[in-house]
Amino acid sequence: MALRRSFTAQGGLTITWVPSRGAKFVSLRDQHGREWLSQTTRPNVGPGRSFGQAEMAGWDECAPTIDACTVQGRELPDHGDLWDVAWSEDGNRTSVNGTSWPYSLERTVEQSPFGGIRLSYVARAAGDRVPFLWAAHPQFVAPAGSYVQLGGGITRVVDILAESQPPLPWTSALASFDSVAPGGFRKVYVDPSMIATSATLVRPEGVSLRMRWSNDVRYLGLWFDHAAYAAQAVVAIEPALGFADSLAKAVSNGAAAILQREEPLRWWVDIDVIETSNAGG
């Protein structure tokens, strides 16, 4: 079995990752032992598979793209070039060099100011004005009755799976996992003219998982998968540095991060588990 590392926050939230497998988070358990991340039914998956043939569980780091695309003559692979490679480690800090794009990424797991877990990131460029997209890709277990709350007064989202990518009102129906039929899926982004400050997965048993992030993280994707691709029903809360899933499209939209040589880009994501009654943004 691949070597695993774990960190437990003061509030009892424990996160576990596998440095040799893209520093993938494979478990996120709260103080009561509740597992929040979906678990793989494909335990012997190795390198070289497509993302859809891999674990389809846990939490991957996606960069420099989510969708496969071509930018500046370079082909960027599906879900990026980090999730399928070994990362170097130094305690709770892991790092890796991109293989398809001139950048490196570093992630540190540490205590957040709110009693939960903070993931602190640093991206560096190996060139000048390097377009860049990063997105968290956590697949959270979403039992029937689960829904998503957004902080920041969000009123509109964009359906990025539709060809015209129409803006839609952010309604309780769109926020509810139950509105996705078995075998179905949905992917929306918060309208890029708006900025979500947090996202909370509210589960029916009376607990919620909240993610918050630094101001540099301007975009947010939400993926609802009713066992269409994943083995379980999952919701992915995907704070991102670009709009939308393709770096090529983000560049075209003027909505990609730009990395500069000698100017590291830093951001963070906080995770905590809270009582539903306190789950506001």
Asked whether residue 112 carries a pLDDT value surpassing 60, the answer given is yes
Q: What is the dihedral of CA 89, 111, 242, 189, to 10 degrees?
A: 130
Q: Which residue has the higher pLDDT, 231 or 209?
A: 209
User: Helix, strand or coil for residue 91?
Assistant: coil
Q: What is the pLDDT of residues 223-277, one digit of tens each?
A: 999 999 998 999 999 999 999 999 999 999 999 999 999 999 999 999 999 976 5
Q: Look at residues 63, 60, 57 and name the one whose alpha carbon lies nearest to residue 23.
A: 60
Q: Look at residues 270, 242, 273, 269 and name the one whose alpha carbon lies nearest to residue 258.
A: 242
Asked whether residue 113 carries a pLDDT value surpassing 80, the answer given is yes
Q: Which residue has the higher pLDDT, 51 or 112?
A: 112
Mean pLDDT of the chain: 94
pLDDT over 90 percentage in the chain: 87
Q: In what order do the strands lie in the sheet with 198-202?
A: 88-90, 93-97, 103-111, 117-125, 265-275, 207-213, 198-202, 147-151
CB of 62 closer than 8 Å to CB of 43: no
Query: Could you state, in order of their start, the residue ranges of all structural domains in the chain?
Result: 5-140+210-275
Asked whether residue 22 carries a pLDDT value surpassing 90, the answer given is yes
Please tell me the pTM assigned to this model.
0.94
Bridge partners of residue 93, in order along the sequence:
90, 108
Q: What is the pLDDT of residues 34-64, one digit of tens each?
A: 999 999 877 666 666 678 777 889 999 999 9
Alpha-carbon distances of 180 from 186, 194, 228, 233, 239, rounded to whole Å: 7, 24, 10, 10, 21
Asked whether residue 141 carries a pLDDT value surpassing 90, the answer given is yes
Tell me what pLDDT residue 40 has. Answer: 86
* Residue 48 backbone zone (phi > 0: left; psi -120 to 50: alpha; other: beta): left
Alpha-carbon distances of 265 from 64, 103, 107, 121, 231, rounded to whole Å: 14, 11, 12, 8, 35
Reported as type and span, the H/E element at residue 172 is helix 172-175
Tell me what pLDDT residue 41 has. Answer: 78
Please state, in angstroms and rounded to a whole number, the distance separating the CA atoms of residues 196 and 212. 9
Q: Which residues contact 1 (CB under 8 A, 6 or more apart)?
A: none
Tell me what pLDDT residue 131 has. Answer: 97
Tell me what pLDDT residue 275 has. Answer: 79
Say which CATH topology domain 5-140+210-275 has: Beta-galactosidase; Chain A, domain 5 (2.70.98)
Tell me what pLDDT residue 249 has. Answer: 96
Lowest mean pLDDT among 6-15, 42-51, 87-96, 201-210: 42-51
Q: What is the pLDDT of residues 155-168, one digit of tens each?
A: 999 999 998 999 99
DSSP codes joined into one string, 236-264:
EEEEESBSSS-HHHHHHTT-BEEEBTTB-
Asked whether residue 279 carries a pLDDT value surpassing 60, the answer given is no
DSSP code of residue 278:
G
Asked whether residue 1 carries a pLDDT value surpassing 80, the answer given is no
